[in-house]
Structure 1
Amino acid sequence: MSSDHVADHALVREGFWVFGYGSLMWNPGFEFAERHPAVLMDYARSFCMWSIHHRGSPEVPGLVLALDAEPGAACHGLAFRIGPEVAAQALADLRDRELVSSAYLERVVTLRLSDGRDVAALAYVVDPEHVQYTGPLSLERQAEVIAGACGGRGPNCDYLFSTAEHLAELGMEDIELTQLSDMVRRRLKI
């Protein structure tokens, strides 16, 4: 087991929470026992990772969202509780999906649920030392990349649009993602 992975035995035996802040919110890909709006402090959601698999290619990289450490920031998303009966398969599926390259690090973070509880949860955060980490990019540059990239899971713009729309539907609109969506639609004339 890599040092970047959380100990499997407790997760599988007891079940676990996982934080969705991008596509996990609208396409979790696992069975869950509970789902709650949640906030993760000191991290920001941003298009700060090159995608060479799911939403881009090595030749034409796309961008995907990642959690980037930022003191004082608050990232709104969804917390999913995965029960012990499906935990082993869910954990394997999450790792296959999120750890396709070593650009994400699996971490245990503390989430504040909408009902006031604090829970320990898995989260996939960007490794700022990894070659796929972009650092800050202007919205204009993000729009340019997202409008032109496509990967194994489809057009990069679909990922952006779905995430922005689901956040808005959940009452967690991310103004920057909404602005970026508008910029990409104008570029694509849709």
Structure 2
Amino acid sequence: MDEFWVFGYGSLMWNPGFSYEERMQGRMIGYRRSLCVRSWHHRGTQDRPGLVLGLDRGGSCRGVAFKVALRDRAETIEYLRERELVTHVYLERQLAVRLDDGRKVQALTYVVDRAHRQYGGAVTVEEAARIVNQAVGVSGPNPVYVANTVSHLREMGIHDHWLEQVVTEIERLEGVD
């Protein structure tokens, strides 16, 4: 292996937590960003689970690929496993990413395990907003997580229309104009 890349589709895009040599936006085909993980810790509880992002099958996903120095590979993987595999709802995979400059690379990423009990499946905009709106976990309110995600995506020039609709619906539920 002459290069090591990591693909982020959620908070990893703006808060990677590891050193990297290069950062570039790109697209992963065959997976989409989705509020499909029922959060029982960070953004909800087992009694009132929230929803957090997962990379689920189908469609495509714009995100950020990070090229990590080979000397930092083991340390980066260890860090990512501690961060992403807390409840093992994600599966570690090496998948193809087409970078915005045209290069195609293999990148380490974390996809949702559809067989895991925290997998929430496909939900409507209204259902997602209702679930998110009532959930709070140790990392704070679920609506803040979703709004923050959309805000960062917009700053990066990435438009996730479905997530943006969820934020609009949350604001409607909260009575925010």
- What is the TM-score normalised by the length of structure 2? 0.93
Give the match for residue 37 of structure 1: 25
Report the AA paired with residue 125 of structure 2: L
For 2:160 and 2:94, the matched residues in 1 are separated by: 24
CA, structure 1 residues 94+15, in 2 after alignment: closer, same or farther (shift >3 Å)? farther
Deviates more, 1:80-89 or 1:167-176: 80-89
CA distance in 2, matches of 1:85, 1:54: 31
Is 1:103 aligned with 2:112?
A: no
Alpha-carbon distance, 1:87 to partner? 2.5
Map Cα deviations across residues 28-64 of structure 1 (whole Å, 9 max, x no partner): 1112211100100011111111011221122211101
One-letter identity of the residue aligned with 1:146: V
- Aligned partner of 1:97: which letter? R
Displacement over 4 Å in runs of 4+: none
Once superposed, what is the RMSD of the aligned Cα atoms?
1.5
Q: 1:168 aligns with which of 112, 129, 154?
A: 154
d(CA) in 1 for partners of 2:3, 2:42: 27
**Is the 8 Å Cα contact of residues 15 and 87 (structure 1) preserved in structure 2?**
no
Shift of 1:170: 1.6
Choose which of 159, 166, 175 in structure 2 pairs with 1:180.
Answer: 166
Tell me, in whole angstroms, the C-alpha distance in 2 between the residues paired with 1:62 and 1:33: 34
Match of 1:156 in 2: 142
Identity of aligned residues (%): 46
Give the aligned partner of residue 61 of structure 1. Answer: 49
Q: 1:62 to 1:155 in 2, by over 3 A?
A: same
Alignment of 1:92-131 (within 5 A): 92-131=78-117
- CA displacement at 1:153 relative to structure 2: 1.9
Amino acid at match of 2:140: G
Using the TM superposition, name which of 93-102 and 108-117 deviates more. Answer: 93-102
Q: Deviations over 1:87-118 (max 9, x none)?
A: 32221111111101121100000000011000
Q: Flag structure 2 segments of 5+ consecutive residues without an equivalent.
A: none
Counterpart Cα distance in 1 of 2:175 and 2:66: 36
| 1:13-52 equivalent positions in 2, closer than 5 A | 16-52=4-40
Match in the other structure for 2:126: 140
- Residue identity in the other structure for 2:6: V
In structure 2, relative to structure 1, the CA distance for the partners of 1:117 and 1:55 (3 Å cut) is same
Give the TM-score normalised by structure 1: 0.87
Aligned partner of 2:65 among 69, 79, 92: 79
Q: Which runs of 5 or more structure 1 residues have no equivalent in the other structure?
A: 1-9
> Is 1:143–1:183's contact at 8 Å kept on the other side of the alignment?
yes
The alignment of Structure 1 onto Structure 2 pairs a total of residues equal to 176
Shift of 1:15: 6.0
